[in-house]
Structure 1
Amino acid sequence: MISNRSHSYRKNDSLKLQPLSPCESHLQESEYKYLPLITRVSQEQFDPKWQECKIDGKNLLPRSSSAITILNNHLYLYGGYQYAIGIMKDFYKLNLSAPTYVWQNIKCDYEPGPRCRHSICSYQENIYIFGGQVADSISTNEIFIHDVKQQQWKKLKVNKTYPQPLDNHCATLYEDQWIIFGGFYNGDQCKHSNDLLSYKFRENRWVKLNKAKGIEPSPRDGSSMTSLNNSVYIFGGKNGDLMCDDLWQFNMLSQEWRQITTSRLNDPPKKRSGHSLISYQNNLILFGGIHDVTWELDDLHCFNLDLQQWKIINDDTSRGKEQELHSPPKTNRNPPRKRKPQKLPILLRPLSLRKSPCPSPKKLHSFSQSQHSSYSTNNQNNYASSDLSQCQSNLNNQNNATVQTSLNNVQERKRWEELKKKTAMLKLFEVENREIMNFQDDCNVAEKLKTSIILIGNPKQDLKLKKGILTEFGQQIISKFLQPLTGGQNTINGKKPCARDGHSVAVFNDSMILFGGDRHTMSFNDLYLLNMNQL
């Protein structure tokens, strides 16, 4: 998103590149004091294995829990979910061989309707959709088939072999079968599933593969599945609050499950659900997912089937700030208690600690010797007592006034510092009033979510200036992502996706295609390519 500051503001920036006065230098330091942190985040996002696809024209609405598949160099996408809109029913395709990426809406007279947490695949010039949620807490077990040439949807007849309504399952293709595992039965059973089912395309018939009782994965949903050689593999998932990090192999020839156990020294992936798992050559590629509440991941792992071990390609950076904060050392001894200073009475304090307006004994009211001698001993005691009481009262009043003045000064300074920080941060997102309408999205997302999306895509809008920005160290900063593209006009090289779950993946040639997902109920509509030859 290009910054839309006025020409006068840009002109003032160019003037600030000259030596600055102390007043201007202090102002600029408060305005750009956060630039080193933002620049570091941009550098951490750079990864040569990833490419972000530039969408020409209007982009899709952000969403998660959608499904994508590839047929004849075209990427097909159906449905999805967004917190502000709900379950979607739109159907799109994108030509991956075209010089520019453009989403094309496919409209048909008859459509499957709203669908999320479903599965989709392509088989013999047709696209199949199974299961998923059609409304809140309502799932389906229907199968719809789309004829690509005629651009028509058709609903297949449900027979007795069909499973109960199912959603949030995982699926993969194996030869002429569609393999489904896990998910949540939302019909009469209402429970998590660990069934492994095979759909015969030509017969319109489902077959349960794991009939024999033995070792098998526990019931779960949100896991991911892929096929390779004569086996299918699944990883992770969840059952309520219980997350899984186990890897399983099902041999399609012997019809048996086997859990693949690896050493903890090989850094296996964290427990997660909503992630993606694909196969490439003789490796399993794992990306993203959610590990805990509000903890989505952006790590990339590779499992070598020959070596039977995990390898970290990219570690998780979604909580980089927390990793930099070292916890204090733990000891068995309790920290020593600080003794509170004892406050001495006014008469017992040394003269140097007295801050009383009361005069010293030498500066008492001057009396003549005759006047002083005319007083009795009792009168002297009464006079001294009344004088000391008045001095102590004056002391308390002055101390209270001093403390109140100090507190007011501290609070005023804090308010001034907060105001200065807010002003500096607002400068980063300053937009002219006439251009505000251009930034409005079709999605009804809160303003704070829009700000988060901007920060993820481009942490500093002002970096789009050709000359860069002068920092507090007198150096100019230009974002790497804003330099001329080297990988073509439709991709941005080196930009990797942020942490997310609920995204969709597919394999195209030697690349993994990743679309959408969400993070903290904030959905995405970005499209990425992962070059698997560089793993």
Structure 2
Amino acid sequence: MYSNRSQSYRKNNSLKLYPGSPTESHLQESEYKYLPLITRVSQEQLDPKWQECKIDGKNLLPRSSSAITIQNNHLYLYGGYQYAIGIMKDFYKLNLNAPTFVWQKIKCNYEPGPRCRHSICSFQENIYIFGGQVADLISTNEIFIHDVKQQQWTKLEVNKTYPQPMDNHCATLYKDQWIIFGGFYSGNQCKHSNDLFSYKFQDNKWVKLNKQKGMEPAPRDGSSITSYNNSVYIFGGKNGDLRYNDLWQFDMLKLEWNFIAINNLNTIPMSRSGHSLISYQNNLILFGGIHDVTWELDDLHCFNLDLKEWKTINFDTSRRQELELPSPPKTNRNPPRQRKPKRLPILLRPLSLRKSPCPSPKKLRPGSQSQYSSYSIKNQNNFASPDLSQCQSNLYNQNTTTVQTTLNNVQERKRWEQQKQKIAMLKLFEVENREIMNFQDDCNVAEKLKTSIILIGNPKQDLKLKKGILTEFGQQIISKFLLPLTGGQNTINGKKPCARDGHAVVVFNDSMILFGGDRHTMSFNDLYLLNLNQF
């Protein structure tokens, strides 16, 4: 990969070693001469704004479309979805002030059941869950309350003010109200929504806010919402295959929508859905989402509410390798086609180039019927005598029938042999429906690859780099999964999340907490912290 680089480049970027003997120096130089370049690449991928939280003990199953909230310095998580498992119903909490991060499962006698694409929030001493998808194509509009002290779930009575069953909506807290926007109505309606509802916790009552006619966002789901001062803001979302990148403000005092016109159109983030949007001071922070099929994003943007401008903090790198591929030069074209030499009629050719006008059909190979078609009788009528033409015509008709029959038999026999081989091969791979589940693996593919790289790349994880001297394996520098813990025992500084959508976020102190999500149907169970003070 680096063999084409110049020797001067390697010399300037070489790693200084302190060998114990010339023989050891020679071996290390030959074995690790490309190590500085790999180290430099890994350093470029570090981002000081991000931290990855290391989970002590058993981690959660990977999932997307879950929901998280903060209550008394604890992170609560409910439900989610994984392609191999389906909709989940587990309930966990994690102490954010503990020296180590440990997920604790909360067991209750009565539970809301499976949920994904739902919303969750904490108000006073309770945790609320609303809506979501409970099964394939089935959503709900139920609200459950969890008493944190008693560890009990209670289902509220659904009244006429409740919205229709929905999922994939977005929600945020505004003072003593729970604001719900958009989503997808299931059941009889089966359509996207642009309704904005407010739920008052004390009254158990929903109120539709956007009753007035006027400019408003298009119906959508998969958008994100946040509140700041006396307004709520939404960005993006999708309606079928159409995704948006518009930013809207809803004035909670005037109860009206306002489209936010951007001063610099070149800085507007790409259209997306399944992303996250939070507010911090006078900024809106946007991360991730999906822009197109199999195109999840890992970019980070900031919108200044005073200047009405977007600022790109981190560009999308999910397709960096595709963008860096050099385009073919304009001169690299296909060579011009060479014209085939025209064949003269038989009587006008030299005797050495003439072929017999009546070749024997026994000498013909399968597929060589073109010998007859190359010499058209119509072209020879202008040069041959009538007697010769009649002779050639009679022989041609007889031989053509024989050759055509032989070719048809050969081709039919080949097709039949290929069909038999195909049927026999398919029978080897036939698996009954009840046996398919035995071949499915619940383990995340990324976790398997991660474990394999650690075991193969560095069998001895306790080896470290001391005083610039490489150890026996030296993989502690190369493997990005073995970065040393810095700034605390439970986080890795500089480790940022990969591209994803369907993740869950929440603000805790001066940090944004991000959990899970998926990419190409591969779910994650990682936990990250974004330092908001560095914007």
TM-score after normalising by structure 1: 0.71
Cα distance in 1, alignment partners of residues 105 and 205 from structure 2: 31
Is the CA contact (8 Å cut-off) linking 1:266 and 1:311 kept in structure 2? Answer: no
The residue number in structure 1 matching 2:261 is: 261
- Please give the secondary structure, in 2, of the residue aligned with 1:262: coil
Q: How do 1:104-123 and structure 2 match up within 5 A?
A: 104-123=104-123
- Please give the secondary structure, in 2, of the residue aligned with 1:495: coil
Residue 44 (structure 1) shift: 3.8
Query: Residue deviations 1:43-62, cap 9 Å, x none?
Result: 34310000111111111111
Residue 320 (structure 1) shift: 1.1
Is the CA contact (8 Å cut-off) linking 1:169 and 1:222 kept in structure 2? Answer: yes
Query: Residue deviations 1:105-148, cap 9 Å, x none?
Result: 10000000000000000001000000000111110000000000
Query: Residue deviations 1:6-47, cap 9 Å, x none?
Result: xxxxxxxx99955359xx96xx79xx98x7886565334310
Which residue of the other structure, out of 19, 29, 36, is the alignment partner of 2:26?
Answer: 19
Residue 338 (structure 1) shift: 4.0
Query: Residue deviations 1:354-379, cap 9 Å, x none?
Result: xxxxxxxxxxxxxxxxxxxxxxxxxx
The residue number in structure 1 matching 2:381 is: none
The residue number in structure 2 matching 1:466 is: 464
- Please give the secondary structure, in 2, of the residue aligned with 1:110: coil
Structure 2 CA distance for partners of 1:297 and 1:254, relative to 1, 3 Å: same
Is the CA contact (8 Å cut-off) linking 1:301 and 1:311 kept in structure 2? Answer: yes
Residue 330 (structure 1) shift: 6.1
Residue 462 (structure 1) shift: 6.8
The residue number in structure 1 matching 2:400 is: none
The residue number in structure 2 matching 1:134 is: 134
Cα distance in 2, alignment partners of residues 496 and 52 from structure 1: 7
The residue number in structure 1 matching 2:441 is: 444
Cα distance in 2, alignment partners of residues 37 and 519 from structure 1: 29
Structure 2 CA distance for partners of 1:225 and 1:335, relative to 1, 3 Å: same
- Please give the secondary structure, in 2, of the residue aligned with 1:466: coil
Query: Residue deviations 1:145-183, cap 9 Å, x none?
Result: 000011100000000001111000000000110000000
Query: Residue deviations 1:288-319, cap 9 Å, x none?
Result: 00011111100000000011000001111111
The residue number in structure 2 matching 1:302 is: 302
Is the CA contact (8 Å cut-off) linking 1:469 and 1:476 kept in structure 2? Answer: no
- Please give the secondary structure, in 1, of the residue aligned with 2:42: helix
- Please give the secondary structure, in 1, of the residue aligned with 2:84: coil
State the aligned residue count: 414
The residue number in structure 2 matching 1:164 is: 164
The residue number in structure 2 matching 1:316 is: 316
The residue number in structure 1 matching 2:508 is: 508
- Please give the secondary structure, in 2, of the residue aligned with 1:48: coil
Q: Could you tell me which amino acid in structure 2 is paired with residue 202 of structure 1? A: Q
Cα distance in 2, alignment partners of residues 459 and 44 from structure 1: 24
Residue 89 (structure 1) shift: 0.4
Runs of 4+ in 1 over 6 A off after TM superposition: 35-38, 455-459
Give aligned-pair identity as a percent: 76
Residue 197 (structure 1) shift: 0.4
The residue number in structure 2 matching 1:57 is: 57
Query: Residue deviations 1:75-117, cap 9 Å, x none?
Result: 0000000011110000001111111111111000000000000
Is the CA contact (8 Å cut-off) linking 1:289 and 1:500 kept in structure 2? Answer: yes
The residue number in structure 2 matching 1:529 is: 529
- Please give the secondary structure, in 2, of the residue aligned with 1:179: strand
Q: Could you tell me which amino acid in structure 2 is paired with residue 116 of structure 1? A: C
Structure 2 CA distance for partners of 1:483 and 1:78, relative to 1, 3 Å: closer
TM-score after normalising by structure 2: 0.71
Q: How do 1:299-448 and structure 2 match up within 5 A?
A: 299-328=299-328, 335=333, 337-338=335-336, 444-445=441-442
Is the CA contact (8 Å cut-off) linking 1:92 and 1:105 kept in structure 2? Answer: yes
- Please give the secondary structure, in 2, of the residue aligned with 1:51: strand
Structure 2 CA distance for partners of 1:462 and 1:244, relative to 1, 3 Å: farther
Structure 2 CA distance for partners of 1:261 and 1:56, relative to 1, 3 Å: same
Cα distance in 2, alignment partners of residues 135 and 210 from structure 1: 30
- Please give the secondary structure, in 1, of the residue aligned with 2:121: strand
Is the CA contact (8 Å cut-off) linking 1:274 and 1:290 kept in structure 2? Answer: yes
- Please give the secondary structure, in 2, of the residue aligned with 1:43: helix
Cα distance in 1, alignment partners of residues 224 and 240 from structure 2: 17
Residue 327 (structure 1) shift: 2.6
Cα distance in 2, alignment partners of residues 494 and 316 from structure 1: 17
Cα distance in 1, alignment partners of residues 459 and 139 from structure 2: 46
Is the CA contact (8 Å cut-off) linking 1:463 and 1:479 kept in structure 2? Answer: no
Structure 2 CA distance for partners of 1:335 and 1:61, relative to 1, 3 Å: closer
**What is the RMSD of the two structures over their aligned residues, measured on CA atoms?**
3.4
Is the CA contact (8 Å cut-off) linking 1:249 and 1:259 kept in structure 2? Answer: yes
Structure 2 CA distance for partners of 1:500 and 1:458, relative to 1, 3 Å: farther
Structure 2, unaligned stretches of length 5 or more? 1-20, 342-350, 353-439
Residue 516 (structure 1) shift: 0.5
Cα distance in 2, alignment partners of residues 458 and 475 from structure 1: 11
The residue number in structure 2 matching 1:152 is: 152
Residue 324 (structure 1) shift: 1.0
Q: Could you tell me which amino acid in structure 2 is paired with residue 222 of structure 1? A: G
- Please give the secondary structure, in 1, of the residue aligned with 2:533: helix
- Please give the secondary structure, in 1, of the residue aligned with 2:60: coil
